[in-house]
Amino acid sequence: MGRHEKIAWYNLAVIGTSVLFFLVSFFVMKDRHSLESSFEVSSSAFAVLAFLGFGQTLFRKEDAGKRRSGFYDPELDERDVQIRQRAALHSFAIFWVLFVLAIMGFWMFFRWRHGTEGPLMITFNVNLLPLLTVPGFLIIMSVHAISTIIQQRDNIKDNNGVQGVFVSNLRSMILSMFFLPIFLLMSFFIAMQGEIFFAFQFAALSFGAFAMAVREIRRKQEYLEDERLVYGVKLLGRISNIVFTLMYGGLIVKFILDYSKFGLFKFPTLFILLFIALIFYRTVIADLRHYLRERRHEKA
């Protein structure tokens, strides 16, 4: 087991311990005290996270320093750097998805519980606000550690040159495919609560994110061996591009209509229309032209 894998395991253990302490303390306290004070007191368990800082020292290379060959003993070589970068990418991507799901989940929960009529005000202790950063930190650190362990253990199986990048993108797409129905389901719930415009915007963003994932795959599609899979990916990319463009086009038209009510229709609108045309060209027309060119090549 390499040094970085050991550090990742250590980080996971520290995070697990702090979460465990928090949960045990919270559930023991909540029967005797209010939820708020139980939460506040139990959150002291996150002090255990301070141990994260010792990982680098505990697993320091004993023979660190200049070697006989003249090279410095690498604390972090090029492969470690690559693994670390990808782990960071994974952790922030997962954090963003979970953050959106949590925010929308809370919003939907309160709307469902208190009805959709009028603004809904909630009050909470402002001292809890800094504590909200803790879950974000925990998610990022945990995903980073898990991703590092998987990549180090795998001997980065999916890092086999360009083909490896493809496998990694395929995984991203599968992940996106998993999240797309969840986001669309949320859009449906939002729409059911009468927030049609908001639901539409949320669904458009979901398709946008999905289209980006598919586009990544399309860039590497020459490494796919199965012809049917190649055409499947192409078709998926084309459909998601078109859906995203049409949905966002619709949103921008609504924006222009709203804007025009204030008599500010002229110059900004021109720019916006140009922007729509550009997006439409980049995502739909260019895509179709590329497709037709490919067909011509195939026939030739």
Partner 1 sequence: MKKPEIKNTIRRYRFDHDEMTQEELAELVGVSRQTIIALEAGKYVPSLGLAFRIARVFGAKVEDVFEYNAD
Residues that bind partner 1 (CB under 8 A): 2-3, 67-69, 71-74, 77-80, 152, 154-157, 159-164, 222-225, 230
- Minimum CB separation of residue 32 from partner 1 in Å reads 50
- Measured from the CB atom, the residue of 71 and 271 that comes closer to partner 1 is 71
- Measured from the CB atom, the residue of 227 and 258 that comes closer to partner 1 is 227
- Measured from the CB atom, the residue of 82 and 125 that comes closer to partner 1 is 82
- Cβ neighbour number for residue 119 with a 10 Å cutoff: 4
What Cα–Cα distance (Å) separates residue 182 from each residue in 189, 198, 210, 231, 287? 11, 16, 12, 25, 27
- Measured from the CB atom, the residue of 163 and 193 that comes closer to partner 1 is 163
Cα–Cα dist 65/71, whole Å: 9
- Minimum CB separation of residue 224 from partner 1 in Å reads 6
Q: Which SS3 state, helix, strand or coil, does residue 1 take?
A: coil
- Measured from the CB atom, the residue of 43 and 152 that comes closer to partner 1 is 152
Among residues 252, 162, 259, 247, the alpha carbon closest in space to that of 208 is found at: 247
- Minimum CB separation of residue 171 from partner 1 in Å reads 16
Among residues 141, 155, 115, 159, the alpha carbon closest in space to that of 19 is found at: 141
Strand pairing partners for 72?
66
- Minimum CB separation of residue 82 from partner 1 in Å reads 8
- Minimum CB separation of residue 144 from partner 1 in Å reads 18
